Amino acid sequence: MGAPFEIGYVFSFLPKLLETLGVTLLIVAGSLLTGIVAGFLVALPRMYKIPVLRTLSGLYLSFFRGTPILIQLFLFYYGLPELLKPLGFDLSRAPVLFFVILAYGLHTGAYAAEMIRASVEAVDRGQVEAAYASGMTSYRAFSRIVLPQALAIAVPVFSNLVIALLKDTSLAFTLGVMEMTGKAQTLGTLTQHFFETYIALALIYLVISFTLEKVLLAAEQRLKRHEAREEKAGRSFKLRRKGSYRAVLADIDAGKGGRL
């Protein structure tokens, strides 16, 4: 299959693949933005227990988490123009990238919603009560007390979300978007050096996800600096919601032999 292995090709493919890095990152950034907005919209009815909307959010979450992203991509690409045609929108000329970003965005939105809900719920109820007791409005209590703490809790999950999204964008080529994986396939077909292209491709993905992980880890540490100081002062007290078995497990400090 193909030509014999030559390591030189890996290096010559790297810059060619990097040319399309912009498209990949555009999909990631666009979907992330869409996803966070969608995530908030979906998470709010669940957090505030708004009757009908809550059921709808549940359905949204179940669907987007219950079907593969590849199927969702095709569903959006073929289905959306048909669904919107009777409403007077003509999407047949919309760029493919639009469908791709929308599909990835709504897919990410489902995971973002769970992330938002879980991290807000992980902030101790007493914190909000204390904020109210000191005379803050509910908006202020949220923006000054809950949000900063929830953010710190959300970062590790967010980090996983971004990296998963980056890896998922490798499927956009199925709709004909020329992002890195699509480019790699073209290069492979042109030169018959498939294995080398995919090694180069894997290396690029690896470097990007590694960098993203490190950057977000640094962000997490910065957001958690207050907690770190507390711990240094000898108080091993940590904010923890009574929560479910799962939440408690997620909270276990691995380094300490799993004390509960």
Partner 1 sequence: MQLDPSFIWTAFWQIFRAIPTTLSITVVSVLLGFAIGTVTALVRLYRVPVLSQMASAYVTFIRGTPMLTHLLLIYFGLPMLIDGLAESFGWSFRSVSIPMIGFAYISFSITAGAYMSEVVRAGMQAVDRGQVEAAHSVGMTSFQALRRISFPQALAAALPNLANSVIGMLHGSTLAFAVSVVDINAQAQIVASTNWKFFEAYLAAALIFWGLTALIERAAALIEKRVGAYNRGGVA
Q: By C-alpha distance, which of 67, 39, 30 is closest to 158?
A: 39
Distance CA(218)–CA(207), nearest Å, equals 17
Nearer to partner 1, 67 or 143 (CB): 67
Span near partner 1 by CB under 8 A; candidates 68-76, 117-125, 141-149, 225-233: 68-76
- In the complex, least distance from residue 238 CB atom to partner 1, rounded to whole angstroms: 16
Token pair of 1, please? 């299959």
Choose which of 40, 74, 98, 142 interacts with partner 1 (CB under 8 A). Answer: 74
Q: Pattern of binders to partner 1 over 4-43, x per CB under 8 A?
A: xx--------------------------------------
How far from chain centre, in Å, is Cα 2? 36
Span near partner 1 by CB under 8 A; candidates 13-21, 26-34, 71-79, 117-125: 71-79
205 binds partner 1 (CB under 8 A): yes
Q: By C-alpha distance, which of 173, 1, 164 is closest to 184?
A: 173
Nearer to partner 1, 190 or 254 (CB): 254
Distance CA(147)–CA(125), nearest Å, equals 13
Q: By C-alpha distance, which of 26, 41, 28 is closest to 110?
A: 41
217 binds partner 1 (CB under 8 A): no
- In the complex, least distance from residue 145 CB atom to partner 1, rounded to whole angstroms: 29
- In the complex, least distance from residue 79 CB atom to partner 1, rounded to whole angstroms: 4
191 binds partner 1 (CB under 8 A): no
Distance CA(199)–CA(222), nearest Å, equals 35
Token pair of 246, please? 């799962």
- In the complex, least distance from residue 134 CB atom to partner 1, rounded to whole angstroms: 35
Long-range CB pairs of 76-85 (<8 Å, 24+ gap) are: 76/102, 76/103, 76/106, 77/103, 77/175
